Amino acid sequence: MDNPKPGKPTMAELEGLGYYDFMAEAFDVPAFQFGGNKAIEDLLIQCGVDKGKKVLFVGCGTGQTACHVARTFSCEVTGVDIAGRMVDKARERAAKEGIQGIEFRMGDAYDLPFGTGTFDIVVTEFVSQFLDLGRAFPEFARVLKPSGFFGMIELYRDDGAPPAVGERLAKAEGAFQRLTGLPFRIPPVSTWRESLGAAGFDVEFQELRGMPRFRDAKDMVPARQLLGIIGKLIVYAARSKKLRERFKAIQEAKRHFIRDKLSRQHSGYGLFVAGRR
Ligand SMILES: C[S@@+](CC[C@H](N)C(=O)[O-])C[C@H]1O[C@@H](n2cnc3c(N)ncnc32)[C@H](O)[C@@H]1O
């Protein structure tokens, strides 16, 4: 199951791509890792990463974090993503950076192309919040060794957040669901815990509040890439009504969440380290 259409796309092809294939193709989208490399390193250490351990990134995107982890810990990394263009970009990145012990392939979180008990660690980073947890978490448990850990960095809202926050986050969720076609949610911590528990995990949670700090942003988007992204945004918006509308929808989703003071007060992102019972 490989991407059938590699190569530079035309504007019409870009318009026809799904959200994540578009983000990969148009912008070579960098990591979506609030907390920077430090957060992902902390997560992997808490999951017991070591030289030679087998680590699976589900929803690896363009592979920035997966490459960083393979380089930092000398572990064997596999990345899967459902978007073929993401996988193409991840492979290009690994080859360009000369990373050893890494492999990227297309794959679906609900039906991972691996045998039972294959991995020491399974990781999602801003991916599980887009998934049906009742289907995804048991699948992650299946591919883990009995002693394995599932680690994730995902968004959450406070349990007991005021109703006004619920209303705003519902708008943001709806906007991201329309954009991606995925069941995007920002669940309360209790829901994350229950869903992990139902899949047979005991979980430790560490909250990291607030949106990315400036010093972490460089891990998400290197400055040289940021200028290129801004330039492309301007060109695409000027040339395509369809893409202009897509960018507007992204802004609309952010308005109710990342840019909303009350929502920000009652939500954040956190590290979840889940061991199998
Ligand atoms: C917000 S991006 C995060 C990408 C990457 N983890 C990062 O932090 O940069 C979400 C990713 O999940 C992938 N994805 C969504 N649903 C998926 C599924 N069912 N199976 C595998 N990947 C999926 C998307 O294609 C996208 O690359």
Q: What string of pLDDT tens digits covers the 277 residues of the chain?
A: 344 455 677 889 999 999 999 988 888 766 677 788 889 999 999 999 999 999 999 999 999 999 999 999 999 999 999 999 999 999 999 999 999 889 999 999 999 999 999 999 999 999 999 999 999 999 999 999 999 999 999 999 999 999 999 999 999 999 999 999 999 999 999 999 999 999 999 999 999 876 555 555 666 677 777 788 888 889 899 999 999 998 988 888 888 887 888 988 899 899 999 999 8
4, part of any domain: no
Q: Is residue 3 part of a domain?
A: no
Please indicate, yes or no, if residue 219 is contained in any of the structural domains: yes
Residue 48 lies in a domain: yes
pLDDT at 30: 64
Q: Is the CB of 212 under 6 A from ligand 1?
A: no
pLDDT of residue 231: 86
Residue 162 lies in a domain: yes
Ligand 1 atom closest to the Cα of residue 62 is 9
Q: What is the distance between the alpha carbons of residues 49 and 149, in angstroms, rounded to a whole number? A: 10
d(CA 248, CA 108): 29
Which residues span the domain enclosing 162? 11-276
Does residue 148 line the site of ligand 1, with CB under 6 A?
Answer: no
- The DSSP secondary structure of 204-267, one letter per residue, reads EEEEEESS--HHHHHHHS-HHHHHHHHHHHHHHHHH-HHHHHHHHHHHHHHHTTTT-HHHHHTE
Question: Tokens 């995902």 sit at which residue?
Answer: 154
How far apart, in Å, do the first and last CA atoms of the chain sit?
34
Give the span between the Cα atoms of 268 and 3, in whole angstroms: 34
CA of 82 to the centre of ligand 1 (A): 7
Q: 6 lies in a domain?
A: no
Instruction: Report the separation in Å between the CA atom of 61 and the middle of ligand 1, taken as the mean of its atom positions.
Output: 5
Q: Report the length, in residues, of the chain.
A: 277
Q: Could you tell me the CATH number of the domain that includes residue 58? A: 3.40.50.150
Six token digits for residue 24: 């990969």
Buried b (16+ CB within 10 A) or exposed e, 199-225: bebebeeeeeeeebeeebbebbbeeee
- Total structural domains in the chain? 1
- Whether ligand 1 lies within 6 angstroms of the CB of 27 is answered as no
Ligand 1 contact, 86 CB (< 6 A): yes
- Count of CA atoms in the C-beta half-sphere (13 A) of 134: 1
Q: Per the domain annotation, does 140 fall within a domain?
A: yes
- Is residue 220 domain-resident? yes
**CA distances to 75, 122, 139, 182, 184 from 208, in Å:** 26, 20, 27, 25, 20
Give the integer Cα–Cα distance in Å for 244 and 124: 30
The pLDDT score that the predictor gives to residue 4 is 44
CB of residue 220 inside a 6 A radius of ligand 1: no
